[in-house]
Amino acid sequence: MSVLVNSDTKVICQGMTGRLGTHHTWSAIAYGTHIVGGVRPGKGGSTHLDLPVFDTVAEARNATGAEASLILVPAPRAAEAMIEAIEAQMPLIVCVTERVPVLDMVRVRQALSGSSSRLLGPNTQGIFAPGKCKIGVMSTVHEMPGRIGIASRSASLTSEIVAQTTTFNLGQSTCIGIGGDLVHGIGFVDCLKLFSSDPDTDGIILIGEIGGSEEESAAEFLKSEKPKKPVVALVVGRHAPPERRMGHAGTLSVFGQADAKSKIEALRSAGAHIAPNAHLVGETMRQALAS
């Protein structure tokens, strides 16, 4: 079993006819994802990659029964695309686009409030359930169907941890990229809830970093809910200089807050198993399951 997606999930791509849209749609099809169409205003009624193209998300959803949308449009139009998908009541929205303006994301969060949609991203590597479905740009080279749920703020570290859990014969139930931006959709707490209630997930890995409050929120959830499944956490950025932006809006420690040390201590005090370094995450999970 997986969370959010499975082999039957019907997916459309907003921006499918562009260069990146074409590449990643084809990659998803080759993986086995059930892509049912795409959206590109002005090209409705045409086909691309032998799939129907629609002018709007609402038209695409009504015609195909789509349950998820992959957004691959430029940053200036990404918020508009997300809001359109929300208004079409798309159950799952995955926005890979980077550098979406923060004020645009405030509008998106307002649109999400009270809606039936769930948003991954923006600036997410996406989501995949091994052998079932891939939505986004996440690497699946070292994947293996298994029983470890992974939620991550970092794309490159996700690939590393997937490889480690495969090496230790643990495999993955679902890998979720929550995105690295400060204002985003689904967070660590949402992922903890999903994995905690999934009968086929035995352990949970959180890959965090400096900036934001995702790790602190996860720690509060762990303290209050005390899930029975082991949670392994890695927080990177221990040596990052304070008050300096590191790559994207989410990785910023200001006035000594949201730094790696405080996040690690919050998670440790909440009962999470802390991986001391990135290369030890798989081993830490193996030990946590054994104990």
Provide the pLDDT confidence category of residue 238 given band limits of 50, 70 and 90.
Answer: confident
248 is catalytic: yes
Helix (H) or strand (E) holding 39: strand 34-39
Q: What is the largest CA-CA distance in the chain?
A: 58
Question: Could you tell me whether strands 118-120 and 92-95 are parallel, antiparallel, or unpaired per DSSP bridges?
Answer: parallel
Give the pair of three-digit tokens for residue 281: 């995450």
Complete DSSP assignment for 163-212: HHHHHTT--EEEEEE--SSSS-SS-HHHHHHHHHT-TT--EEEEEEESSS
Residue 252 has pLDDT above 70, yes or no: no
Output the pLDDT for position 254.
Answer: 47
* Cβ–Cβ < 8 Å for 79, 24: no
Output the pLDDT for position 251.
Answer: 53
Output the pLDDT for position 248.
Answer: 55
Give the pair of three-digit tokens for residue 226: 């005390």
Q: Mean pLDDT throughout 277-283?
A: 97
Q: In what order do the strands lie in the sheet with 273-274?
A: 133-136, 126-129, 172-177, 145-152, 203-209, 231-236, 273-274
Residue 125 has pLDDT above 70, yes or no: yes
- Among residues 130, 93, 117, 162, which one has the least CA distance to residue 6? 130
SS3 79: helix
Residue type, 266: A
Residue 185 has pLDDT above 50, yes or no: yes
Question: What is the reported pTM?
Answer: 0.94
Residue 275 has pLDDT above 80, yes or no: yes
Give the pair of three-digit tokens for residue 64: 């195909």
284/165 Cα distance (integer angstroms): 10
Helix orientation angle between 214-225 and 260-269, rounded to the nearest 10 degrees? 10
Q: What is the share, in percent, of the chain residues with pLDDT greater than 70?
A: 93
Provide the pLDDT confidence category of residue 250 given band limits of 50, 70 and 90.
Answer: low
End-to-end Cα, the chain, rounded Å: 24
Q: Mean pLDDT throughout 79-89?
A: 98
**Domains of the chain with CATH codes:** 10-120 (3.40.50.720), 139-290 (3.40.50.261)
Which of the following is catalytic: 24, 34, 48, 248? 248
